[in-house]
């Protein structure tokens, strides 16, 4: 298993898709931050501009949530590469348990997602520090940096829950196109509209009020969880673990039941 993980790690770090997408995330974060500050300073000349809080910058690795699509696209590409290349059959023939292929990919994608989140957060922090040094914005520390780091780790855990879902489609169903479409839908936040409709339907059917499906969906929690403000922390942990266990079990079960081609 250790050798398999090492092989997958080398394969990931040599993947052009991974290198390009993580670089684009860092570059876009920097350019977006600088551009936004220039616009604010241009149109709000003479007005008092609220300071930027460091913990908020750290806890939000993607300046635009759409950038999460790049992370999903990269992990789908990596997860499907051995199937597309056909060499998964050679690997499976040398392993006592085919499920090791799934567990190895999931472990390596854990590193993959952590790198994306750290690079995203670090690039945003560096851009804000540089702008603060030039006097173009005020960067303040509210003393919640530790909570922001924990929030970032919870977002990593939620990203792994989404990874488990995408791996089920990619490696269980073996449909890269469907997995990519799913990743794009999740990344764009389009499901929030569906959640609004379902919330209304559930409230009407069960005669309840205040039910919010966003509190139980990993993609919605990825955007809303905040340890410093104590928002959806327990929900994020429970939902992540349930999704990971459920979809990894389904992926392994389906993967083992099929012949590898």
CA atoms within 13 A on the CB side of 171: 33
Phi, psi of 50 (to 5 degrees): -60, 145
Tokens of 79: 């997860």
DSSP string, 211-227: --GGGG-HHHHHHH-BT
The reported pLDDT for the residue numbered 105 is 95
Question: Measuring CA to CA, how many Å separate 169 from each of 90, 128, 179?
Answer: 22, 38, 5
Task: Give the residue with greater pLDDT, 37 vs 147.
Answer: 147
pLDDT at 45 over 90: no
- Distance CA(119)–CA(112), nearest Å, equals 11
pLDDT at 13 over 70: yes
* Percentage above 90 pLDDT, the chain: 70
Domain boundaries, the chain: 2-257
Tokens of 164: 């488990």
Looking at 91-95, 167-171, 187-191, 241-245, which range is the least confident one? Answer: 91-95
**pLDDT band (50, 70, 90) for residue 191:** very high
Identify the residue whose tokens are 């936040």.
Answer: 189
Answer yes or no: are the C-beta atoms of 217 and 235 closer than 8 Å. no
- Distance CA(47)–CA(114), nearest Å, equals 38
When the pLDDT of each residue in the chain is averaged and rounded to a whole number, the result is 91
Nearest residue to 65 via CA among 143, 158, 132? 158
pLDDT at 241 over 60: yes
The reported pLDDT for the residue numbered 260 is 60
Which sign does the torsion angle of CA 198, 159, 254, 184 carry? positive
pTM of the model: 0.92
**pLDDT band (50, 70, 90) for residue 4:** confident
The reported pLDDT for the residue numbered 90 is 63
Nearest residue to 183 via CA among 156, 161, 155, 163? 163
The reported pLDDT for the residue numbered 91 is 65
Q: Report pLDDT digits (tens) over 143-186.
A: 999 999 999 999 999 999 999 999 999 998 889 999 999 999 99
Task: Report which DSSP code applies to 49.
Answer: P
Question: Measuring CA to CA, how many Å separate 90 from each of 77, 83, 253?
Answer: 19, 11, 20
pLDDT at 12 over 60: yes
DSSP string, 173-192: S--HHHHHHHHHHHHHTTHH
- Distance CA(256)–CA(25), nearest Å, equals 35
């Amino acid at each position: 298993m250790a050798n398999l993980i090492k092989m997958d790690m080398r394969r990931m770090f040599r993947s052009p898709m991974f290198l390009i997408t993580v670089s684009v995330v860092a570059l876009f974060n920097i350019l977006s931050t600088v551009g936004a500050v220039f616009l604010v300073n241009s149109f709000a000349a003479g007005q008092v501009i609220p300071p930027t809080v460091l913990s908020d910058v750290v806890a939000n690795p993607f300046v635009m949530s759409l950038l999460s699509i790049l992370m999903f696209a990269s992990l789908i590409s990596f997860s499907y590469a051995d199937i597309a290349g056909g060499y998964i059959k050679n690997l499976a023939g040398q392993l006592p348990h085919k499920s090791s292929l799934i567990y190895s990919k999931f472990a390596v994608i854990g590193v993959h997602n952590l790198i994306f989140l750290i690079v995203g957060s670090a690039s945003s922090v560096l851009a804000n520090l540089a702008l603060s040094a030039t006097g173009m914005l005020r960067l303040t520390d509210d003393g919640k940096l530790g909570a922001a780091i924990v929030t970032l780790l919870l977002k990593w855990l939620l990203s792994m829950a989404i990874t488990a879902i995408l791996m089920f489609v990619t490696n269980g169903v073996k449909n890269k196109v469907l997995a990519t479409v799913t990743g794009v839908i999740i990344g764009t936040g389009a499901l929030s509209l569906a959640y609004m409709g379902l919330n209304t339907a559930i409230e009407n059917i069960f005669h309840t009020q205040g039910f919010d499906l966003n509190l139980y969906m990993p993609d919605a929690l990825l955007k809303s969880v905040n340890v410093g403000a104590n928002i959806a922390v327990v929900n994020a942990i429970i939902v992540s673990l349930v999704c990971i266990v459920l979809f990894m079990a389904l992926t392994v079960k389906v993967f083992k039941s099929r012949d590898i081609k």
